[in-house]
Amino acid sequence: MRSFSHAEIKDYQKRILELKKEKNAIILAHNYQLPEIQDVADLLGDSLGLSREASRSDAEVIVFCGVRFMAESAKILSPGKIVVQPDNESLCPMAAMIDAEDVRQLKKEHPGAVVVAYVNTTAEVKAEVDVCCTSANAVKTIQALKEKDIIFVPDVNLGMYVKRFAKGKNIILHPGYCPTHDDITVEQVTALKNEHPGAEVLAHPECRPEVIDIADWVYSTGGMVTHSFSSPAKEFIIATEKEMVYRLRKEAEKRGIDKTFYPIATAICPDMKKITIDKLVRGLETLSPAIELPEELIGKAKRPLDRMLEIGR
């Protein structure tokens, strides 16, 4: 990945502010984006918060700084808008672990089961399922379903986490996982805890069960922001992708609150880092690469996303 000097970044950021106005564009960015991208975003958030914003924004253009499934969800929820993803090779490896045929097969094996898909899936997979969820509302979504048999795809770690709150339900899991979160170890978290015994451990539900077991709290990335500023604790160990700590430090500075955040230094999502500041400028200048999806696919994939937004956070 090319890196830029401080002066180059400032120049690019200035250009982005001009282009945003010129194109009537809004920049949505996920909490794992590079710091210089986070700094120019109109909205920084988790998958659910960004989907909500995409569904109600009145900008003509959405520039989505995040992985493909996130930009696709924005397009599905706002099909009339131009949705630009500055690097269309920024994919989510977990989303690539399941395809539409896998879902059809699971439905055949478990007739009558309701199918819940984590939003970290392709539009083709969403078109096959009943309802989507994010890490922020997965537990609530499962609890809201009246069916006993639930197929949950593709994240086995999130699925096992949800199972803890779904007594009496039969949850059928798929073996997908997030390589970035699955690699976070109990040893890494414990070492940080020994160094900072007063810190609360916040873990993302994509972590393995043994990491979840030693966490004080389990949250989506948006939930981590809310919790950090409502908790009396001053220090936090953040068991998720490392750029989340930039987001939290920025938030503490903005609010003028003294809080300290410790990242898992090795937890990096390489795909999130493909969106660089020069590509963001180019995306705004050319309004490409834009997300294009067949109308019929949008129609089918929108249903489970709309249902997710109705169930809420």
End-to-end Cα separation, the chain, in angstroms: 35
28-67 residues near ligand SF4, rule: CB under 6 A: 67
DSSP string, 169-231: -EEEE--B--HHHHT--HHHHHHHHHH-TTPEEEE-TTS-HHHHHH-SEE--HHHHHHHHHHS
Does 122 interact with ligand 13P (rule: CB under 6 A)?
Answer: no
261-290 residues near ligand SF4, rule: CB under 6 A: 269, 271-272
Residues 200/261, Cβ–Cβ less than 8 Å? no
Largest distance between two CA atoms of the chain: 59
Does 120 interact with ligand 13P (rule: CB under 6 A)?
Answer: yes
| CA distance readout (Å), 270 to 27, 94, 188, 195, 278 | 20, 13, 20, 28, 17
What token pair was written down for 203? 């873990």
Per-residue binder mask for ligand SF4 (CB under 6 A), 188-227, x = binder = ------------------x---------------------
Candidate residues 47, 121, 228, 276; the one interacting with ligand 13P per rule CB under 6 A? 47
Q: How far is the CB of 177 from ligand SF4 (least distance, A)?
A: 9
75-114 residues near ligand SF4, rule: CB under 6 A: 92-94
Considering the complex, state which of residue 20 and residue 30 has its C-beta at the smaller distance from ligand 13P: 30
Alpha helices in the chain (DSSP H): 6-23, 35-38, 47-56, 68-77, 100-109, 123-126, 138-144, 156-163, 179-182, 186-195, 209-214, 221-230, 244-255, 277-286, 295-311
Candidate residues 78, 180, 220, 276; the one interacting with ligand SF4 per rule CB under 6 A? 180
Q: How far is the CB of 248 from ligand 13P (least distance, A)?
A: 13
- Residue 228 binds which of ligand SF4, ligand 13P, none (CB < 5-8 A, kind-dependent): none
226-285 residues near ligand 13P, rule: CB under 6 A: none
> Which residue, 77, 26, 6, is CA-closest to 47?
77
What Rg do the C-alpha atoms of the chain give, in angstroms? 19
Q: Quick one: residue 83, left, alpha or beta (phi over 0 = left, psi -120 to 50 = alpha)?
A: beta
Considering the complex, state which of residue 105 and residue 266 has its C-beta at the smaller distance from ligand 13P: 266
- Residue 72 binds which of ligand SF4, ligand 13P, none (CB < 5-8 A, kind-dependent): none
Q: Which residues sit opposite 63 in a β-bridge?
A: 27, 84
- Residue 76 binds which of ligand 13P, ligand SF4, none (CB < 5-8 A, kind-dependent): none
Does 241 interact with ligand SF4 (rule: CB under 6 A)?
Answer: yes
152-171 residues near ligand SF4, rule: CB under 6 A: none
Segment interacting with ligand SF4, rule: CB under 6 A, options 21-29, 177-185, 228-236, 296-304:
177-185
Residues 36/13, Cβ–Cβ less than 8 Å? yes
- Contact residues: ligand SF4, CB under 6 A: 67, 92-94, 120, 178, 180-181, 206, 241, 269, 271-272
Which residues here bind ligand 13P, judged by CB under 6 A?
31, 46-47, 120, 134-135, 178, 206, 220-221
